[in-house]
Amino acid sequence: MKILVLGAGKTGSLVAEVARERGHAVRALTAVDNEKGCALTEEFLAGYDVAIDFTTPDAVMHNIAACVKQRTPIVVGTTGWYREIDQVKKLVEASGTGLVFGSNFSVGVNVFFAIVRTAAAALTNGYSAQIMERHHVHKKDAPSGTAVTIKQILEQESGMQLGEVSSIREGETVGMHVVTLDSPADTMMLVHDAKSRRGFAEGAVRAAEWLQGKTGFYDFKDIYPQLG
């Protein structure tokens, strides 16, 4: 495939590296190259099979809009735009293109989501829940999209409202998420600690491969078991 990577930060650069390792032709655009989606014209996008976005909350909506308009499939790893998710879903479905988004493209994290879904039963049995996430100082959004997803899972499965997520930004921490379930009798802790960004990058590239020939709006946590 010909893959356009939007964003040349640490994760975007690794996405490009992984895509090349998997035999794809890759071009990456930086924020300077593509301010407010200016580079994503019909002529330019015609040269690519799929785009993968790891930019910023300020840039991602411009990129989504441009790709959807030109019916270029797009995988969106950027978070911080989910207030617009219903609008984006309508645009994708109306255009007849394909989009996969995810608060986290690590397969391990998506298995963790399934574990959290099962553990939500504790909340209806006298336990309280707290969520903590720790990331590097460069991360733009807080709480992380992954932490927001964890909170949503717990609330949806239990029917209860949780307190605010605790967010910590320090050093070059890749990403840690901790769910603490506490009762007078005992405490349970669920932890996912990313060792590197490679898991995110591999998941995003595999999602791009899966998206070929498909239309529709997909959440990575729903489709990752189907990845080749």
Number of Cβ within 10 Å of residue 117's Cβ equals 15
Is the Cβ–Cβ distance between 1 and 49 less than 8 Å?
A: yes
Q: What is the radius of gyration, based on Cα positions, of the chain? A: 18
Model pLDDT for residues 137-181, shown as the tens digit of each residue: 988 889 998 999 999 999 999 999 999 999 999 999 999 999 999
Write down the pTM of the prediction: 0.85
Q: Give dist(CA 157, CA 49) in Å, integer.
A: 37
- Among the listed residues 10, 24, 89, 139, the single catalytic one is 139
pLDDT at 80 (0 to 100): 87
Question: Has 221 been annotated as catalytic?
Answer: no
Domains of the chain: 2-105+198-226 (3.40.50.720), 107-193 (3.30.360.10)
Q: CA 44, 47, 49: angle at the middle one, nearest 5?
A: 120
- Report whether 81 contacts 57 (CB < 8 A): yes
Q: Which amino acid is at 39?
A: A
> Pick from 15, 13, 9, 67: which is nearest to 37 by CA?
67
Contacts of 205 (CB under 8 A, 6+ apart): 3, 15, 18, 19, 22, 24, 52
User: Is 135 annotated as catalytic?
Assistant: yes
Catalytic residue selected from 10, 24, 135, 138: 135
The string of DSSP codes covering 93-162 is HHHT-EEEE-S---HHHHHHHHHHHHHGGGGGGT-EEEEEEEE-TT--SSS-HHHHHHHHHHHHHH----
Task: Count the neighbouring beta carbons within 10 Å of the beta carbon of residue 57.
Answer: 14
Residue 105 burial (10 A CB sphere; 0-12, 13-18, 19+): buried
In tens, the pLDDT along 64-120 reads: 999 999 999 999 999 889 999 999 999 999 999 999 999 899 999 999 999 999 999
